[in-house]
């Protein structure tokens, strides 16, 4: 009678160890692939948000309205556009899905926090008595910014394009061009340089005091 020889305990343990190692490698490969996919999706979503924010900012700058929202008490000078490098302020209509109708004073600000700079957005309904209080807290459009600045450009005395400047002094009129440069902390995030122009480039507004004079 022939006796069947089974596996020894050592062989069973060795086979189990090899099987566990194989399963572990398979799970590690799957986990790495999943993480890589999630990172790629997160980066794609972030780049899509950057493009959406850029599109929104471009649309608001292009649609800037020559409506004064503030007057200098001493001179009566009207303010229709402000830019100081870290802040851009103008009047434009808000998209209907974001607010009620009418012109709004819109402020885009580069604010420094623990994670670097972030681009915040606030808006205030403009009434004949001036802008109302903001209806909500500043909304963070983009975070994780390493460096950023708003700049404007206009024509020089010879009618040629002047230099870019982050200090706009002619607050009663629009510049010719507006630029926002950003460098993200995550170098994989792509912010194409934004250069756009208000469609209405107006001459300086007369002061309220000048309106009463012949």
- Kindly tell me if the per-residue pLDDT of 88 is higher than 90: yes
Question: Could you give the CA distance from residue 111 to residue 88 in angstroms, rounded to a whole number?
Answer: 12
- Kindly tell me if the per-residue pLDDT of 61 is higher than 80: yes
Q: How much of the chain, in percent, has pLDDT values that exceed 70?
A: 80
Q: What is the pLDDT of residue 207?
A: 43
Instruction: Give the highest mean pLDDT range of 33-37, 44-48, 119-123.
Output: 119-123
Q: What is the pLDDT of residue 178?
A: 96
- More confident: 212 or 48: 48
Instruction: Give the highest mean pLDDT range of 25-34, 69-78, 115-124.
Output: 115-124
pLDDT digits (tens, 9 = 90+) for 146-168: 999 999 998 777 778 889 999 99
- Kindly tell me if the per-residue pLDDT of 34 is higher than 70: no
Long-range contacts of 186-192 (CB under 8 A, 24+ apart): 186/43, 186/46, 186/144, 188/43, 189/43, 189/46, 189/47, 189/50, 189/144, 190/47, 190/50, 191/50, 191/54, 192/54
Q: What is the pLDDT of residue 206?
A: 44
Q: What is the pLDDT of residue 110?
A: 97
**pLDDT band with cut points at 50, 70 and 90 for residue 98:** low
**pLDDT band with cut points at 50, 70 and 90 for residue 68:** very high
């Amino acid at each position: 009678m022939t006796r069947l020889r089974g596996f020894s305990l050592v062989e069973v343990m060795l086979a189990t160890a090899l099987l566990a190692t194989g399963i572990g490698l398979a799970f590690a490969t799957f986990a790495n692939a999943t993480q890589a996919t999630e990172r790629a999706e997160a980066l794609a979503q972030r780049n899509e948000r950057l493009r959406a924010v850029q599109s929104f900012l471009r649309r608001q700058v292009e649609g800037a309205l020559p409506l004064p929202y503030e007057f200098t008490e001493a001179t009566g000078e009207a303010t229709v556009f402000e830019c100081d490098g870290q802040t851009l302020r103008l009047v434009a209509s808000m998209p209907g899905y974001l607010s009620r109708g009418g012109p709004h004073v819109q402020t885009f600000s580069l604010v420094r926090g623990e994670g670097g700079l972030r681009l915040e957005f606030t808006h205030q309904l403009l009434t004949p008595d001036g802008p109302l209080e903001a209806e909500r807290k500043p909304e963070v459009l983009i975070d994780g910014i390493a460096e950023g600045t708003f700049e404007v450009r206009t024509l020089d005395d010879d009618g040629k394009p002047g230099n870019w400047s982050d200090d706009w002094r002619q607050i009663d009129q629009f510049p010719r061009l507006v630029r926002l440069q950003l460098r993200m902390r995550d170098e994989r995030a792509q912010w194409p340089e934004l250069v756009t122009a208000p469609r209405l480039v107006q001459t300086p507004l007369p002061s309220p005091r000048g309106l009463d004079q012949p």
